[in-house]
Amino acid sequence: MVLNAGSSSLKFAIYGADAALAPLATGLVDRIGPEGRLHLQSPDGAALPTAPGPLSTHGEALETALESLRRAWPALSVAAVGHRVVHGGLAFEAPVRVTAAILEDLRAFIPFAPLHQPHNLAGIEAAMLAFPEAPQVACFDTAFHRSHPFVNDTFALPRAYFDKGVRRYGFHGLSYEYVSGELARRAPDLAAGRVVIAHLGNGASMCALKGGASVASTMGFSALDGLPMGTRCGQLDPGVVLYLLTEEGLSSEEASDLLYRQSGLLGLSGISNDMRELEASKAPEARDAIDYFTFRIRRELGAMAAALGGLDALVFCGGIGENSARVREEVCAPMGWLGLGVDPAANASGAGILSAPGAPVTVMVIPTNEERVIARATRDTARAAG
């Protein structure tokens, strides 16, 4: 079983515990909150019945999802449970079987990822209670980025802070691991070159890869940095934070809530954090929010290309990256100077290669699958641990 708790969603899946890791069912709790919806489906896409239950919080969503799986498979035997854990710090560079001591270590990273880490750890604790005999395996979003050079991981603060762990970590590593692996399978020549993957969803970031290894990420010390997101502000002058604290009188908790939960697409538009709703809206504020989102993607893409010394491929993934032809068009169209562009018909279909044949930069969509990365790591880690 795989549990993947995002900032506004809960993905879950069950796989056969064999070499093929055949998927048995996948599920999603979308828009956790008053409008939360639970979906459960078989591998062929057929909808499966779900259990009634509340979906207003991550905890409620997890309980309702587990109850749905128990009803669908009364004799379900869980051999191991894998979890997405957003922050592993510097100590955790590979998947690890969770013990009480490791769980306590992971709590220390809650201040680094307050929107995700508590939900990730709550999922582990709930799974320990539900499946006490099954090993629990934590897989880390930060691990993929540990190959960064010093200049891409440090801030210009006194070196002592870097040594204490105040540095850039990068996130969405499980997504990048899957997409980079798929790119290597589909187009090995491109994967060996200079690639930017844009993981665009309610959480959004970009990763620059050279020869398949991460060399730079838009996210930094926390999952707040870089691109604007559904409710997160993205890159921000630190002087703004000082102003909020000293002049506006916000407490640290109020400032955190503002930057993590009231900003981004939601704050800019005053309408929604959901790109689907913004694209459907005629309000100028919705247009402004989309414009800012795509502008920041272009700006960061230029920085990623500079870090790589050029660009061979741009790959879109994530809920927005995979489904919004409008966002992909508005990112690529103004960047013809970098060799970017999309074919309108291919972009509308949203599958495979979107750029015209012979284009200087190949533009692709590769749907991400963090759950399969977690499932594979969980199987291998549980077996290695005996």
Residues assigned a catalytic role: 141
What kind and span of H or E run contains 347? Answer: helix 344-349
User: Token pair 């934070």 is at which residue?
Assistant: 241
φ/ψ of 221, rounded to 5, equals -60, -35
| Terminal Cα-to-Cα distance of the chain (whole angstroms) | 18
Task: In whole angstroms, give the CA distance from residue 232 to residue 222.
Answer: 11
Task: In whole angstroms, give the CA distance from residue 158 to residue 194.
Answer: 32
Query: In 271-343, where do the E strands start and end?
Result: 313-317
**Residue pair 207/245 in contact by the 8 Å Cβ criterion:** no
Distant-in-sequence, close-in-space partners of 306: CB < 8 Å, separation ≥ 6: none
φ/ψ of 206, rounded to 5, equals -135, 150
Specify the pairing of strand 37-41 against strand 23-30: antiparallel
Provide the token pair at 182: 């798929």
**Residue pair 144/173 in contact by the 8 Å Cβ criterion:** yes
